[in-house]
A and B are shown apart, each in its own frame.
Chain A
């Protein structure tokens, strides 16, 4: 009994240490956002919350940061919605029908996951330029909507969670295939859609290189490009940048907290899809 107690204590200690390590950089982010640049580079660097936060916030608001937050929100919303629509339709087709070229589409979806994204940035730039889409938001959210993982995930879920007889009954009632998808399957896919939404949101929110290259106007900067624009090689106002970084992290945290209740289903689904 006593040994079990000790084991429990040890395990909890070990968990607490891990949690601390994972949270430490966020604490530092908080600390840095409340100090001036000179203090951050001071000796020793600050370890506690300082008094500079209001000043940093004011300086941050003088830059187009909030505009960039808004831009990011727009781009991420569009790409997430588009991704959900496109992936669920494709997943539906792959799960419900059997047709020629099915395995080709599956292979394509897998291939799309294996490509290092920055490898295609330059050809993509020239292509976007040909299309005349430079400096337009759709040049960022359209490609972000293509998710091989999303398609696999939706297919997996529809295969396993939607009883086949439901579709047959729908058809007997005279439902068109489109209504079958829209009114019967989609409402039942909510957990999978939520999962894909979270994953797609986070990926789109954190994307940097693509918006940097195809959205050159400062009015169109997304939040991480705006953050980078604030830092220079040297002498940047780091306190202000850190304040911005803190706000840039918040939306992903919010999405995580909302999703926290559904952890289990979300992750088992992601894992299944990647299988």
Chain B
């Protein structure tokens, strides 16, 4: 009885499926903010392909990446284009689920010179494979409250001249106005870890995947963080919490080290009322650091690879779309495309930074930032290094011992 019904039902389903396949659409899966960038490119796309609508799938930052981990292995439902944040890119590169864009028909390696060096390198593997194209970059920068430092008699050169002078500035600030230099000692560690990485040296691993956590860079970063904590230069609060936002708003925390993308967050919701009081500076000791960035990739299982490639090119290599993402007030993305970075718009003064043309500074930083390769185990290392620093800060554990333990644990977790 049921059998008799099954055949016609199956036939109907097949007919539906094939008609669905004919009426193609392009599925683009991204995380919040990047969806705004995709929306900006849609009018152009619809002009070019009025018959192929773009289906935009947006999910929260962590959920998006966590789900990709299973979705890219499934036989159906893989998106055609996926947005991946730099923290997760190493993992997806290593999993072998992304199309190698260096191959025919893409030949993305010919585009190398068009992109910011460090971002392009992060999307590639040592064997020459290209797994993604960069959309925006986040060169590290130091945001600081000029009004507060002025009041304490500290100028920008004092602040960023060297790591020692950064600490000195913090001490003066605390002594003269009772304010905190940074939100958390961890910020100091992150600032140094990122800034002191050399070309070809990963944040936590070398190119062969060996952990670097006992290197002098980590020891120094931990020492700086400990000094900050011991001398009470940090507010001891976690970033992205209510009081963190409130303290940035009320001017209790005077500086934030982050990627240039933080300007968008700062001006739109963290502390919009402090407009005009902030400035951006290069990192201390004349260093440059990679600090986040977004990429687009094509899953191996994508159904519409040719269209996906066309869309990625529209998103990443078309100066108009790249410029649009920089101009959008909610986005303020710094383009990964060099021609877009050379646009005069970069020189316009930014009211939030008291008229400072901060993008010039970030352009300079983006182009000078050394390429620090991403490792698939970066999140593991980050977690264990953070725990090691907690042990130093809260339990007064010896720095070298803490790092040695962290190294053992990292090796154990990434074993094989």
Contact = CB atoms under 8 A, between A and B. Distances in A.
Tell me if chains A and B make direct contact, with any CB pair below 8 A: yes
Contact of B58 (A43, A126, A212, A218): A218
A228 interface: yes
Contact of A43 (B55, B59, B61, B249): B249
Contacts of A125: 70, 74
Q: How large is the interface on A (under 10, 10 to 19, 20 to 34, 35 or more residues)?
A: 20 to 34
Given A129-B76, A216-B77, A218-B57, A229 B63 contact: yes
Contact of A41 (B70, B71, B76, B242): B242
Given A43-B250, A134-B77, A233 B242 contact: no
8 contacts: A41-B245, A43-B246, A134-B75, A217-B77, A218-B55, A232-B33, A233-B32, A235-B32
B269 interface: yes
Contacts of B59: 225, 228-229
Contacts of B57: 216-218
Contact of B31 (A135, A212, A232): A232
Nearest to A233: B61
A38 interface: yes
Contact of A213 (B29, B70, B245, B268): B70
Interface centre among B61, B73, B77 (most CB of A within 10 A): B77
A232 B61 contact: yes
Contacts of A112: none
A143 interface: no
Nearest to B240: A234
Interface string B224-256: 000000000000000010100110011000000
B70 A122 contact: yes
Interface string B43-60: 000000000000111111
B62 interface: yes
Given A43-B246, A218-B57, 18 more contacts: A43-B250, A125-B70, A129-B75, A129-B76, A134-B77, A135-B77, A212-B63, A216-B57, A218-B58, A228-B60, A229-B59, A231-B60, A232-B60, A233-B32, A233-B61, A233-B62, A235-B265, A235-B268
A142 to B, nearest CB: 17
Interface string A125-165: 11001001011000000000000000000000000000000
A81 B74 CA distance: 29
B33 A38 contact: no
A243 B108 CA distance: 45
B67 interface: yes
Nearest to A230: B60
A38 B60 CA distance: 19
A191 interface: no
Interface string A221-253: 000010011111111100000000000000000
A165 B55 CA distance: 61
A229 B67 CA distance: 12
A216 B75 contact: no
Given A43-B246, A43-B249, A229 B58 contact: yes
A236 B57 CA distance: 16
A87 interface: no
Contacts of B272: 38
B73 A41 contact: no
Contacts, number: 75
Interface in A95-131: 122, 125-126, 129
A232 B67 contact: no
A7 interface: no
A37 interface: yes
Q: How large is the interface on B (under 10, 10 to 19, 20 to 34, 35 or more residues)?
A: 20 to 34
Contacts of A230: 60
Interface string B257-280: 000000001001110100000000
Given A43-B246, A213-B70, A216-B67, A37 B269 contact: yes
A92 B351 CA distance: 73
Contacts of A232: 31-33, 60-61
Contacts of A218: 55-58
Contacts of B29: 216
A216 B71 contact: yes
B67 A212 contact: yes
Contacts of A229: 58-60, 63
A45 interface: yes
Nearest to A133: B76
A234 B63 CA distance: 14
Contacts of A234: 240, 265, 269-270
Nearest to B243: A43
Nearest to A238: B269
Interface in B102-128: none
Contacts of B245: 41
A41 B273 CA distance: 13
Sort A-B residue pairs by CB-CB distance and give the 10 closest, nearest first: A232-B32, A233-B61, A129-B74, A43-B246, A235-B269, A134-B77, A125-B70, A229-B59, A216-B77, A134-B76
Contacts of A135: 76-77
Interface string A64-93: 000000000000000000000000000000
A41 B269 contact: yes
Contacts of A216: 29, 57, 67, 71, 77
Contacts of A213: 67, 70
A46 to B, nearest CB: 12
Interface in A39-75: 41, 43, 45
Contacts of B60: 228-233
Interface centre among A122, A231, A235 (most CB of B within 10 A): A235
Interface centre among A41, A45, A135, A236 (most CB of B within 10 A): A41
Nearest to B29: A216
A134 B258 CA distance: 39
B77 A228 contact: no
Contacts of A235: 32-33, 265, 268-270
Contacts of B33: 232, 235
Nearest to A215: B77
B274 to A, nearest CB: 13
Contacts of B76: 129, 132, 134-135
Nearest to B75: A129
Interface in B69-94: 70-71, 73-77
A126 B69 CA distance: 12
